[in-house]
């Protein structure tokens, strides 16, 4: 019996979802195994199976692990940690609030991946100084980076995709700060949720501080206490963050991070072998494996098959509120396993078509799709920030589902009724 590429992709994805949830085999092996299976089945070209390893985000991950290692090796991260603890106190919730607020603000104007990568070693240093498990802080950091991306047009790719879809249909696009009308309330809700509800679902993490430091490159504590090297490392990190925030076209994120990491090796802030050992290869292979899988979901038509099936259940004249809720659910569901850019690119044209068919303004529908595509909180593979903190936080797959899924549901209910108030049907 012949199966279409879309059906084969959905079958492989279903098996992967079970393996992710049960962790019968390592997460990275599941991701790479899924990519190789899709290659063997001919769903994706064999030459693309390992293409994720050359992806620019993988290079960014590796470079930021090296910079994080230098921060620990020179003693900069513990020093910063002690400083922040003196300013904010050592309470878990006060640190969580400060972490999420900084991450949300930075990611509203720069890459949420770059924000997470830059702040992760600093947060681990703070946790070490405050004697708090990094497991309790790193997932809120990753989530908050996602919150902040919804505040401006350039905060995350789905926002740009949504504007492009409106412009292509000769409709008025959203303004640069128009996303803040929904992004700021969502950020506030997300921060409050994580501090008072989500924190109850986070792992205790009582015994993993050492693992987190090793994942960030500490390898057991500072190797050099040279003030000069601390200054070099600190200035390098600041410069890398500034370049990322400025979004200079000739200096993309991975190049800025790579130059920073290479400079720290050349100046002796971290030795070459220490740099190699600092890279969390589980994170690298997990992300690299999911890239071809996401490609298969998009190119095979599996994503469109899911979209068409769900939308077909709504009938010929669905309520605008039902349409918004269904597209939000679909976009949020797809983005847990495929890139948020691909989710938005797939669903924005469908949302425009249906909005036109039932005679409602498309802006509320398109905004729901874009925002939902940034709600990748329920899996470690939904968005690079989630993957980046996986090893350092000693997280398992279900550790993301427990706090992430309720947050997605809260956002679904809020957006279904709030978005039409701001952009009426």
Is 25 among the domain residues?
no
Q: pLDDT tens digits for 83-110?
A: 776 777 778 888 899 889 888 987 887 6
Cβ 375 vs Cβ 146: under 8 Å = yes
* Residue 183, CB-side half-sphere exposure with 13 Å CA sphere: 29
Is 393 among the domain residues?
no
Is 120 among the domain residues?
yes
The number of folded domains in the chain is 1
Looking at the predicted structure, is the pLDDT value of residue 220 above 50? no
Q: pTM of the predicted model, to two decimals?
A: 0.73
Structural domain of residue 139, as residue ranges? 55-154+177-282
Residue 266 buriedness (CB in 10 A; 0-12 / 13-18 / 19+)? exposed
Three-state SS at 277: helix
Three-state SS at 43: coil
Is 33 among the domain residues?
no
Length of the chain: 425
Is 150 among the domain residues?
yes
Looking at the predicted structure, is the pLDDT value of residue 78 above 80? no
Is 292 among the domain residues?
no
Look up tokens 């997470």; give the residue.
Answer: 116
**Spatial separation of the C-alpha atoms in residues 363 and 422, rounded to whole Å:** 10
φ, ψ of residue 307 in degrees (nearest 5): -60, -50
Q: pLDDT tens digits for 340-386?
A: 877 887 788 778 877 877 788 889 999 999 999 999 999 998 888 99
Is 15 among the domain residues?
no
Is 61 among the domain residues?
yes
């Amino acid at each position: 019996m012949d199966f279409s590429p879309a059906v084969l992709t959905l079958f492989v994805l279903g098996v992967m979802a079970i393996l992710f949830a049960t962790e019968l085999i390592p997460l990275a092996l599941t991701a790479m195994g899924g990519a190789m299976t899709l290659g063997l089945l001919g769903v994706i070209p064999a030459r693309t199976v390992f293409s994720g390893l050359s992806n620019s985000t993988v290079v960014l991950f590796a470079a930021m692990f090296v910079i994080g290692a230098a921060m620990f090796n020179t003693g900069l991260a513990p020093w910063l940690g002690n400083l922040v603890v003196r300013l904010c106190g050592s309470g878990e919730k006060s640190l969580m609030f400060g972490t999420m607020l900084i991450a949300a603000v930075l990611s509203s104007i720069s890459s949420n991946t770059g924000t997470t990568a830059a702040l992760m070693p600093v947060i681990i240093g703070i946790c070490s100084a405050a004697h708090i498990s990094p497991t309790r802080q790193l997932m809120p950091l990753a989530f908050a980076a996602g919150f902040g991306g919804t505040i401006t047009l350039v905060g995350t790719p789905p926002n740009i995709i949504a504007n492009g879809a409106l412009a292509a249909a000769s409709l008025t696009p959203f303004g640069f700060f128009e996303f803040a009308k929904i992004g700021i309330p969502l950020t506030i809700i997300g921060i409050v949720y994580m501090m008072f509800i989500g924190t109850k679902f986070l792992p205790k993490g009582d015994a993993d501080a050492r693992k987190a430091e090793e994942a960030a490159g500490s390898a057991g504590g500072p190797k050099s206490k040279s003030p000069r090297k601390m200054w070099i490392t600190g200035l390098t990190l600041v410069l890398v963050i500034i370049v990322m925030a400025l979004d200079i076209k000739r200096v993309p994120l991975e190049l800025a991070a790579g130059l920073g990491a290479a400079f720290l090796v050349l100046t002796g802030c971290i030795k070459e072998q220490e740099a190699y050992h600092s890279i969390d290869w589980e994170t690298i292979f997990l992300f690299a494996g999911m890239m071809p899988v996401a490609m298969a979901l998009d190119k095979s038509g599996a994503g469109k098959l899911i979209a068409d099936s769900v939308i077909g259940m709504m009938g010929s004249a669905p309520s605008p509120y039902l349409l918004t809720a269904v597209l939000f659910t679909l976009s949020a569901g797809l983005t847990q396993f495929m890139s948020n850019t691909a989710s938005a690119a797939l669903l924005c044209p469908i949302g425009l078509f249906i909005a036109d068919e039932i005679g409602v303004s498309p802006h509320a529908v398109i905004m729901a799709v874009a925002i939902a595509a940034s709600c990748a909180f329920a899996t470690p593979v939904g968005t690079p920030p989630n993957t980046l903190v996986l090893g350092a936080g000693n997280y398992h797959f279900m550790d993301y589902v427990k706090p992430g899924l309720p947050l997605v549901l809260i956002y679904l209910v809020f957006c279904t009724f709030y978005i039409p108030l701001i952009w009426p049907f």
